[in-house]
Structure 1
Amino acid sequence: MTSTYRELFDLDGRVAIVTGGLGILGRHCCRALAEYGAHVVVVDLDGASAERFAAELARETGVACLGLHCDVSCEASVEGMVSQVLEHFGTIDVLHNNAASKSDDLEAFFAPVEDYSLDEWRRIMAVNLDGVFLVSRSVGRRMIEQGRGGSIIHTGSIYGQLGCDPSIYAGSEYLGVTINTPPVYAASKAGVSGLARYLATSWAVHGIRVNTLVPGGMQSGQNAEFVARYSRRVPMKRMGRPEELVGALLYLASDASHYVTGQCLYVDGGLSAW
């Protein structure tokens, strides 16, 4: 353990993989981990952009970072990515499973549950849940081999824990399509937290902690009607900002949470407390 409480949050020299590293939440999380001293591996489908962002982080923070392409729904791609990380840095200490699918068919993605396509369901599940399993399995195996533990953090969602309120979506659209919380999104995020609890109890003997970060609604370009309706449902009366997730992430990634595993840490403005 560290000699001062301040040092509990120090990630100096540790290697942290962030999948979905170019996303709305991912960029903030990558930057925070690097600022606290971690060698960040920015993992995304867009490998070229991941490389550029990793180089930017390295210039800004002075720590070596790496950008890699990976399709988390593909077993071979995941194994290749993890092997590259080990070849480059020699170790993995932190994994943030943050990748989630952005459907290229909004009509199918936001379809009512009674009309939901099985093909669309499987496309989203392949990333949101299969991908979390594949990356966790690969990284967890290496952490066990390393023999010094580690921290795995899944990005869940408030809608993986609570039922959605359809009334907040009245009058809300995205690119001309009426939006909602898709059933596959809720089911996949519930699966993510269930998998975290399973891995936490299975791998605790190896010193590997597995937790789920549970954001509430984050403001990211939604129209004013949706923001107002959602905010009325939250005790703090507003949506979250992506950067407000990083404090919880740093806690779970660091030794500050050394005795915390199998937990859901809510960052939701109090919505789950109603």
Structure 2
Amino acid sequence: MSENYFEKFSLKGKKAIVTGGAGILGRHFCKGLADAGADVAVVDINIEEAKKIAEVLAEETNNKVKAFYCDLTDEKSVEQMVKDVIEEFGEINILHNNAAGKSSDLNAFFEKFEEYSLEQWKEIMSTNLDGMFLVAKYVGKQMKKQAKGGSIIQTSSIYGVLGPDNRIYEGSYYLDRQINTPAIYSASKAGVVGLTKYLATYWAKDGIRVNAITPGGVESGQNETFKRNYGNRIPLGRMAKADEMVGALIYLASDASSYVTGHNIRIDGGLSAW
């Protein structure tokens, strides 16, 4: 048996895009792909932060890691970003369609469903789902031209596949603000799973695999009440750490998952097993 199965997880020589690469999870995803050997395009609307992350990762890994600006709500911006990445890297083998929107008005974002505004709904949907469609459209077109396939991984959320338990939000704060999970977040993240399954069958003939990862709750500034309430709902008894999302991404990006497409890996500490 001469085959080395561990080498199937290597991304050496691969060229990857991570949207939302400067975010809380995005920076870990960029590091994971670079650590596995890929050259990485750190794509974000916050270009200054993306540049900082790219500089650090390039030095740590000796891979090509570059920052690229993109406004995912603007089709021209998405198209230009993909052109810029191709010009820099030559091709695209991996896309992590990861970015999610931040509201310009948190009062509107956390409003009760009965009072929710259509404007706020559209604002979040334009990034969480419309932007994912646009990036997949232009990267998928490029992968087809390369005639050797590729791997697309899209980030959903546990609340895209399960309804939230609103009891956990009693006395719960995130960065000193009382929070909930608005319906737009669940609806947009459910749409990510649907888009993933559609594209998996649509591009299968072209050798392009499309999968999703679904993180459960990740520690990122919530108060102790929320962490305790959330942890009590989880078989493993706690929230996730950001770096615990990365292993599934490397697996889906690599040849180790060469016969996996249309799948959604739930990284949720067992929440969906109850």
**Structure 1 residues 83-122: aligned runs within 5 Å:** 83-122=83-122
Question: Match of 2:242?
Answer: 242
Report deviation, 1:177.
3.8
1:28 touches 1:243 (CA, 8 Å); kept in 2?
yes
Question: Match of 1:182?
Answer: 182
**Would you say 1:150 and 2:158 are equivalent positions?**
no
Report deviation, 1:65.
1.1
2:174 touches 2:221 (CA, 8 Å); kept in 1?
no
- Deviation readout 1:205-261 (Å, 9 max, x if unpaired): 001000110000001110111111110000001000010000001000000100000
SS for the counterpart of 1:152 is: strand
Counterpart-to-counterpart distance in 1, 2:224 and 2:51: 35
Question: Match of 1:5?
Answer: 5
Report deviation, 1:176.
5.2
- Deviation readout 1:4-31 (Å, 9 max, x if unpaired): 1011001001000000001110011100
Moved more, 230-239 or 51-60: 51-60
**Structure 1 residues 4-153: aligned runs within 5 Å:** 4-153=4-153
1:48 touches 1:69 (CA, 8 Å); kept in 2?
no
Counterpart-to-counterpart distance in 1, 2:101 and 2:68: 18
Counterpart-to-counterpart distance in 2, 1:198 and 1:172: 36
**Would you say 1:165 and 2:165 are equivalent positions?**
yes
Report deviation, 1:181.
0.5
Q: Which runs of 5+ in 1 are unaligned?
A: none
SS for the counterpart of 1:198 is: helix
- Deviation readout 1:91-124 (Å, 9 max, x if unpaired): 0000001111111211100111111010000000
Question: Match of 1:216?
Answer: 216
1:236 touches 1:270 (CA, 8 Å); kept in 2?
yes
2:159 touches 2:186 (CA, 8 Å); kept in 1?
yes
Distance 1:88 1:175, change over 3 A: closer
**Share of identical aligned residues, percent?**
57
Distance 1:11 1:176, change over 3 A: closer
Question: Match of 2:205?
Answer: 205
SS for the counterpart of 2:25 is: helix
Counterpart-to-counterpart distance in 2, 1:174 and 1:235: 23
CA RMSD of superposed structures (Å):
1.1
Q: Which runs of 5+ in 2 are unaligned?
A: none
> How many pairs were matched up?
273
SS for the counterpart of 1:129 is: helix
TM-score, normalised with respect to structure 2: 0.98
TM-score, normalised with respect to structure 1: 0.98
Counterpart-to-counterpart distance in 2, 1:8 and 1:92: 18
Counterpart-to-counterpart distance in 1, 2:223 and 2:86: 43
SS for the counterpart of 1:261 is: coil
Report deviation, 1:175.
5.1
The amino acid that maps onto 2:13 is G
Question: Match of 2:255?
Answer: 255
